[in-house]
Structure 1
Amino acid sequence: CILKVGDRSIPCHRLILAACSPYFRELYFSEDGKEADKTEVVLENLDPKILEVIVNYMYSAEIDINDDNVQDILSVANRFQIPSVFTVCVNYLQKKLSKKNCLAIYRLGLMLNCARLAIAARDYIADRFETIVKDEDFLELAPPELFAIIGADALNVEKEEMVFELLMRWIRKDKEKRVKSLEEAFDCIRFRLLPEKYFKEKVEKDDLIKADPELVKKLKVIKDAFAGKLPEKKKGQGGEEGEEGKLPGYLNDERRYGMYAKDMLLMINDTAAVAYDGKENECFLAGMAEQIPRNHVSLISKKNNLYVLGGLFVDEEDKENPLQCYLYQLDSLAAEWIALPPMPSPRCLFAMGESENFIFAVAGKDLQSDESHDTVMCYDTEKMKWTETKKLPLKIHGHCVVSENGLVYCIGGKTDDNKTINKMFAYNHKRSEWKEVASMKTPRSMFGAVIHNGKIIVAGGVNEEGL
Structure 2
Amino acid sequence: MDVTNEVHSNSVLRELNEQRGRAELTDVVLEVEGRSFPCHRAILASCSPYFRTMFTSGYAEVKQERISIQDVSGVAMATILDYAYTGRLQMEPDQVQAVMSAARLLQVDFVGRKAAEYMKDRLDVSNCVDVLMYADMLADCGLVEASKRYMASRFDQVALQPSFVQLPLNLLQSLLGRDDLMTNSEDNVVQAALRWVDFNQEERLQHLSTLCKSLRWSLISTKLCVEIESKLLSTDSNIVYSNSTTQRLGQVRTELQVFLRAGILEQYSDDECSALCYDPSTGRLYAMNMPEKLDSFSRSVTVTPDNELYMAGDIVTSRETGMDDRQKKFYQYNHLLNTWEPRCGMIAPRYSCGLVYLKGYIYAIGGDDTTETAERYDPSCDEWTSIPPLPHPMSSEFCVVTLDDSIYFISKDGCYSFNTIENKWSKIADMFQPTEHPQAVTYRGSIYCIDCNERCGDSSCVQMYNPTTGEWKMTGKYYYFFDTATLMTYAKTMYLLTVHSGDDKEFDTDQNGSCTTLDIRQYQPNTDSWWSLVKECRQVPPLAWWLNSSSRTKCLTVRMIPMCLGYLKAYESDYYGVGRRRNESYRSGSSDDSDTDTLSDQEDSDEDNSDQDRLSGSDDGDIMEDFYYSD
Question: Normalising by the residue count of structure 1, what TM-score does the alignment of the two structures yield?
Answer: 0.70
Structure 1 stretch displaced more, 98-107 or 165-174: 98-107
2:163 to 121, 134, 137: 137
> Shift of the alpha carbon at 1:120?
1.5
Determine if contact 2:316/2:327 at 8 Å carries over to the other structure.
Answer: yes
> Shift of the alpha carbon at 1:339?
5.5
User: Structure 1: 5+ residue runs without aligned partners?
Assistant: 219-248, 316-320
1:306 to 302, 305, 309: 309
User: Structure 2: 5+ residue runs without aligned partners?
Assistant: 1-27, 263-271, 319-323, 450-461, 465-471, 476-631
Determine if contact 2:50/2:106 at 8 Å carries over to the other structure.
Answer: yes
Say if 1:186 and 1:359 are closer, same or farther in 2 by CA, change over 3 A.
same
> Shift of the alpha carbon at 1:287?
1.7
Paired residue for 2:255? 263
Paired residue for 1:53? 79
Residues 153-200 of structure 1 show CA distances to partners (whole Å, capped at 9, x for unaligned) of: 332334212111111111112211211211111111121233xxx1x2
Residues 260-299 of structure 1 show CA distances to partners (whole Å, capped at 9, x for unaligned) of: 3211111001354111111010111102465143662432
Residues 332-373 of structure 1 show CA distances to partners (whole Å, capped at 9, x for unaligned) of: 4444445552363969896723222x21346x799968xxx6
Say if 1:214 and 1:100 are closer, same or farther in 2 by CA, change over 3 A.
closer
SS of equivalent to 2:288: strand
Determine if contact 1:109/1:115 at 8 Å carries over to the other structure.
Answer: yes
Aligned Cα root-mean-square deviation (Å): 4.3
In 1, the alpha carbon distance for the partners of 2:355 and 2:152 equals 34
SS of equivalent to 2:405: strand
Paired residue for 1:296? 299
Give the aligned residue type for 2:31: K
In 2, the alpha carbon distance for the partners of 1:136 and 1:35 equals 45
In 1, the alpha carbon distance for the partners of 2:81 and 2:302 equals 51
Residues 404-427 of structure 1 show CA distances to partners (whole Å, capped at 9, x for unaligned) of: xxx6344696897x5x89xx8864
Determine if contact 2:401/2:440 at 8 Å carries over to the other structure.
Answer: no
Determine if contact 2:312/2:353 at 8 Å carries over to the other structure.
Answer: no
1:9 to 36, 40, 63: 36
> Counterparts of 1:41-440 in structure 2 under 5 Å?
41-44=67-70, 46-194=72-220, 198=221, 200-206=222-228, 207-215=230-238, 217-218=239-240, 250-270=242-262, 271=272, 272-288=274-290, 291-293=294-296, 296-309=299-312, 327-338=330-341, 341-342=345-346, 344=348, 352-356=356-360, 358-361=361-364, 377-389=375-387, 401-402=401-402, 408-410=405-407, 427-428=420-421
In 2, the alpha carbon distance for the partners of 1:15 and 1:120 equals 36
Structure 1 stretch displaced more, 276-285 or 327-336: 327-336
Say if 1:413 and 1:443 are closer, same or farther in 2 by CA, change over 3 A.
farther
Give the aligned residue type for 1:274: L
In 1, the alpha carbon distance for the partners of 2:349 and 2:139 equals 49
Give the aligned residue type for 1:262: T
> Shift of the alpha carbon at 1:109?
0.5
In 2, the alpha carbon distance for the partners of 1:39 and 1:347 equals 61
In 2, the alpha carbon distance for the partners of 1:106 and 1:181 equals 20
Say if 1:24 and 1:410 are closer, same or farther in 2 by CA, change over 3 A.
closer
Say if 1:85 and 1:387 are closer, same or farther in 2 by CA, change over 3 A.
closer
SS of equivalent to 2:363: strand
Determine if contact 1:29/1:35 at 8 Å carries over to the other structure.
Answer: no
SS of equivalent to 1:275: strand
Say if 1:353 and 1:285 are closer, same or farther in 2 by CA, change over 3 A.
same
Q: State the number of aligned residues.
A: 405
Residues 113-146 of structure 1 show CA distances to partners (whole Å, capped at 9, x for unaligned) of: 2222212211121122123223222122222222
SS of equivalent to 1:251: coil
Determine if contact 2:276/2:287 at 8 Å carries over to the other structure.
Answer: yes
SS of equivalent to 1:155: coil
Residues 94-129 of structure 1 show CA distances to partners (whole Å, capped at 9, x for unaligned) of: 233233322221111111222222122111211221
In 2, the alpha carbon distance for the partners of 1:18 and 1:314 equals 45
Determine if contact 1:326/1:343 at 8 Å carries over to the other structure.
Answer: no
Say if 1:88 and 1:213 are closer, same or farther in 2 by CA, change over 3 A.
same
Give the aligned residue type for 2:57: S
Paired residue for 1:318? none
Residues 375-424 of structure 1 show CA distances to partners (whole Å, capped at 9, x for unaligned) of: 86322224433323478999999786436xxx6344696897x5x89xx8
Say if 1:126 and 1:323 are closer, same or farther in 2 by CA, change over 3 A.
closer
SS of equivalent to 1:188: coil
Give the aligned residue type for 2:308: N
Question: Normalising by the residue count of structure 2, what TM-score does the alignment of the two structures yield?
Answer: 0.54
Paired residue for 1:245? none
Percentage identity across paired residues of the two chains: 21
In 1, the alpha carbon distance for the partners of 2:60 and 2:115 equals 33
> Shift of the alpha carbon at 1:151?
1.5
Give the aligned residue type for 1:202: L
Give the aligned residue type for 1:355: K
The answer to whether 1:462 aligns with 2:463 is yes
